Structure 1
Amino acid sequence: MRIDVIRPGELGPAEVTAWRAMQRATPHLANPFLSPDFVIAMGEVSAGARVAVISEGSGPAGFFPFERHSGGVGTALGAWVSLCQGVVHAPGAEFGAEALLRGCGLHVWEFGCLVGGQPWFQPFEVLRQEAVVLDLAGGYPAYLEGLRERSPKFLKSTLYKERKLGRDAGELTFDFAVRDEEQFRLLRRWKSEQYLRMGRPDRFGRPWVVELAERLHAIDTADFAGPLSMLYCDGRPVAGHFGLRSDTTLVGWFPAYDPAFARYSPGLIQHLRMAEAAAATGIRSMDLGVGTGSEYKEALRSRGEPVTEGCVRRRSAGAAAHWLRSAPVRRVRQFILDTPALYGAADRAMKRYGGLRTRMRAR
């Protein structure tokens, strides 16, 4: 096994073609966060972005994107915003985690949303969760019928609110792929305000995240795009979503809505309209990310897909030093996630803190 570490922008056409072929040959790797487009865009906003090109015989056998930090510590590429991570590989390829990290010059690699089917990392998983997936392979009517069977009250309530919103505020329209930059800025403002209310860190408070999103929004090809979807009432935007899609998979990333319309649940209406539009374009599944603590995701789901969190460490002094720094924090976090009462208390505390920040900002 040969490993060559390069910057994402150094990927050539032949390597990108091989990368896409691997994604098509292995459906669970079709997630757009594993695409060369996302990796190349990350390389334009992160100085530490790298790709390990893994070769066996005459050509590439896999691609391992990661972000390099000091002390030989690596993380998943764009870990703060990425919703799918891992090695993109040819069918049947086999790797050793220790050899892979050594070839990348890393003592440690941390991951937070590892895709399934990565046995070389499995011994290092410490937290296993499920991403919520909407199955659109049979078309939107089939998905809606399944939703009616699984979550009848949820669907009935959402459709009622959709009709009421139309009566109260004007005709509802939807656009799956909005190119207007002003509306993109509006969605980001809604999302930043939502983070503030919830007491969460504002992703769009980081300039590199804004730049990344703008670069991805500008891409629109058959293999990859960053679609901005918007729901309108009488021409006024009331909810939206910015996500990423491959040729078969749409990933939910940044949903938000105008709080003035909150009582109509416009975000839920927008998700159903988006699923319908995505299915019409040939998208076979929508991945909404981990559903822990999210009632609307659990209501919408067709099935779950495993995602894991963990940390690969080589047998080295650098890896041992990293363990001493990070293990206690990771254990506390996992304990909270595994204890519903503690998770609920932490969530309520963050929302109270968010409410306080919102009121202070309004003064």
Structure 2
Amino acid sequence: MRSMSKDACEVHITIHRLDELSVSLRQAWHRAMDESPEYANPFLSPEFATGIGRYRGGARVAVLHEYGEPVGFFPYERNSLGVGRAMGLGLSDCQALVHRPGVTWDAQELLRACGLSIFEFDHLVEEQKPFGRHVTGMFASPVIDLEHGEGSYAEWLRGAYPGLAKTTLKKERRIGRDLGEVRFVFDERDPRVLRTLMQWKSAQYRRTGRMDRFARPWIVDLVDHLFQVREEHFTGVLSVLYAGDRPVAAHFGPRSHTVFACWFTAYDPEFRYYSPGLIMHLRLAEAARRDDVRLMDLGRGDKEYKDWLKTRELRVGEGFATRPHPVAAAHRLWRRPVRGLRNTVLAHPTLRESADRLLKTVGTWRTSGRADSGAAGPRAR
């Protein structure tokens, strides 16, 4: 453990491995999440950070103390050169220094205490003002506000989404006629269905030319681990839409006691004409509402279904917090143009559509090659 102090009588920062975090520090972290709605997202919990730490050797958390009391928690990953990144960068849809109300801190002092020359983030909570001058772009992150109430799924759907209700309910009835009774399980505990979801998602990544996350064994292991976590501030929830006894769509994502984060959704492409992905999200939102979730976070990104479902948008930041250091300059010079090009493409519909077509063409070549070689799907334990 290392420590430093900005002011010996005010702020003291200690650095911890996630697997050595004490029960009292975890409780203080949870308390900071509870006291500010901006930090209620399950991706900001110690459970998620600990899960990353099981499979990523450089995972750490900086703990801010005021007058001896832990008041802030900054999870991050660090390599041997002092290059830092947000915890689970590329997987996490929410990043922040989680702190109690009124706590002040300095980004440069924080990076120095963590031994970081640079810290990269892409889903930073907008409230994080000390990182403000390091933000290179702000992006919409659509959410659904959920109000608890009674009534059937159909009644809720007609009230919340009158434009979608008629066609969605019609497609659900059609699935029932063609395949068997439609059944939705909000919290499915069968790990075999989690395997099915990962196989569907892996195939979707390949078809669309995207990086196959589930081709990376550590991500498969992480999802397996988080599926087993059942805590107040982080529960891994697998939700499944069945037609008869057959799963046709599934979602896995974390929830805290008030926020549900959409993460991995996929469906059996054989039934794509029934719109199982959209049905899945609507069923998920209604079930989360019944389970006292207040906010469903759809995550950053432009997708048509998000525009249909959102009630408002949060703002998340992307950028690089740096200290004067040659490693920081080199890393920023390498990474910023890549992010800038991607954001330019995503911001322009014509460029985005062209890029999607190109990626799908690449995906067709890739899947054809895998079929010819008999390649296997994602690793399953």
Do both proteins adopt the same fold according to a TM-score greater than 0.5, normalized to the shorter chain?
Answer: yes
Using the TM superposition, give the Cα deviation of residue 158 of structure 1 relative to its aligned residue in structure 2, in angstroms: 1.8
Partner Cα distance (1:301, 1:316) in 2 = 42
The aligned amino acid for 2:54 is E
- Which one of the candidate residues 306, 329, 338 is aligned to 1:297? 306
- Which one of the candidate residues 22, 25, 36 is aligned to 1:15? 25
Cα separation, partners in 2 of 1:347 and 1:95, compared to 1, 3 Å: same
- The residue that corresponds to 1:210 in the other structure is 220
Q: Does 1:223 align with 2:233?
A: yes
Does the Cα contact within 8 Å between 1:64 and 1:88 map onto a contact in 2?
yes
The aligned amino acid for 1:180 is D
- The residue that corresponds to 1:133 in the other structure is 143
Partner Cα distance (2:237, 2:222) in 1 = 14
Please give the per-residue CA displacement for 1:162-215, whole angstroms capped at 9, x wherever unaligned: 111111111011111111111111111011011111110111111111111111
- The residue that corresponds to 1:33 in the other structure is 43
Partner Cα distance (1:40, 1:275) in 2 = 27
- Which one of the candidate residues 239, 244, 247 is aligned to 2:254? 244
- The residue that corresponds to 2:3 in the other structure is none
Cα separation, partners in 2 of 1:184 and 1:327, compared to 1, 3 Å: closer
Q: Does 1:111 align with 2:121?
A: yes
SS in 1 for 2:13: strand
Which piece of structure 1 moves more, 203-212 or 352-361? 352-361
Partner Cα distance (1:341, 1:178) in 2 = 40
Does the Cα contact within 8 Å between 2:320 and 2:332 map onto a contact in 1?
no
Does the Cα contact within 8 Å between 2:33 and 2:40 map onto a contact in 1?
yes
Using the TM superposition, give the Cα deviation of residue 254 of structure 1 relative to its aligned residue in structure 2, in angstroms: 0.4
- The residue that corresponds to 1:78 in the other structure is 88
Please give the per-residue CA displacement for 1:337-357, whole angstroms capped at 9, x wherever unaligned: 333322221122111211222
Q: Does 1:148 align with 2:148?
A: no
- The residue that corresponds to 1:348 in the other structure is 357
- Which one of the candidate residues 331, 342, 356 is aligned to 1:322? 331
- The residue that corresponds to 1:175 in the other structure is 185
Does the Cα contact within 8 Å between 1:147 and 1:302 map onto a contact in 2?
no
Instruction: Output the TM-score relative to the length of structure 2.
Output: 0.90
SS in 2 for 1:120: helix
The aligned amino acid for 1:197 is R
SS in 2 for 1:283: coil
- The residue that corresponds to 1:64 in the other structure is 74
Cα separation, partners in 2 of 1:302 and 1:262, compared to 1, 3 Å: same
Partner Cα distance (2:182, 2:258) in 1 = 27
SS in 2 for 1:130: strand
The aligned amino acid for 2:266 is A
Using the TM superposition, give the Cα deviation of residue 146 of structure 1 relative to its aligned residue in structure 2, in angstroms: 5.7
The aligned amino acid for 2:29 is W
Please give the per-residue CA displacement for 1:51-91, whole angstroms capped at 9, x wherever unaligned: 00111212112000000013211001111211111110010
Q: Which runs of 5+ in 2 are unaligned?
A: 1-10, 373-381
Which piece of structure 1 moves more, 112-121 or 240-249? 112-121
Partner Cα distance (1:7, 1:163) in 2 = 51
Partner Cα distance (1:221, 1:335) in 2 = 39
Partner Cα distance (2:298, 2:89) in 1 = 17
Using the TM superposition, give the Cα deviation of residue 359 of structure 1 relative to its aligned residue in structure 2, in angstroms: 2.5
Please give the per-residue CA displacement for 1:233-285, whole angstroms capped at 9, x wherever unaligned: 11111110000000001101000111111110111111111112111111111
Does the Cα contact within 8 Å between 2:202 and 2:214 map onto a contact in 1?
yes
The aligned amino acid for 1:186 is T
Q: Which runs of 5+ in 1 are unaligned?
A: none
- The residue that corresponds to 2:7 in the other structure is none
Does the Cα contact within 8 Å between 1:140 and 1:279 map onto a contact in 2?
no
The aligned amino acid for 1:52 is A
- How high is the sequence identity, in percent, across the aligned residues? 47
Instruction: Output the TM-score relative to the length of structure 1.
Output: 0.95
Does the Cα contact within 8 Å between 1:291 and 1:298 map onto a contact in 2?
no
Please give the per-residue CA displacement for 1:301-332, whole angstroms capped at 9, x wherever unaligned: 11111111111111223322323323333332
Which piece of structure 1 moves more, 241-250 or 66-75? 66-75
Q: Does 1:94 align with 2:100?
A: no
- The residue that corresponds to 2:346 in the other structure is 337
- The residue that corresponds to 2:176 in the other structure is 166
Cα RMSD (Å) of the superposition?
A: 1.6
Cα separation, partners in 2 of 1:275 and 1:184, compared to 1, 3 Å: same
SS in 1 for 2:346: helix
Cα separation, partners in 2 of 1:85 and 1:233, compared to 1, 3 Å: same
Cα separation, partners in 2 of 1:276 and 1:341, compared to 1, 3 Å: same
Does the Cα contact within 8 Å between 2:258 and 2:292 map onto a contact in 1?
yes
Partner Cα distance (1:249, 1:78) in 2 = 18
Partner Cα distance (1:266, 1:338) in 2 = 27
- The residue that corresponds to 2:5 in the other structure is none
- The residue that corresponds to 1:186 in the other structure is 196
Using the TM superposition, give the Cα deviation of residue 145 of structure 1 relative to its aligned residue in structure 2, in angstroms: 5.2
Using the TM superposition, give the Cα deviation of residue 143 of structure 1 relative to its aligned residue in structure 2, in angstroms: 6.5
SS in 2 for 1:55: strand
Please give the per-residue CA displacement for 1:80-126, whole angstroms capped at 9, x wherever unaligned: 21111111001011111111101100000000111121101111111
- The residue that corresponds to 2:281 in the other structure is 271
Cα separation, partners in 2 of 1:122 and 1:207, compared to 1, 3 Å: same
Using the TM superposition, give the Cα deviation of residue 140 of structure 1 relative to its aligned residue in structure 2, in angstroms: 7.5
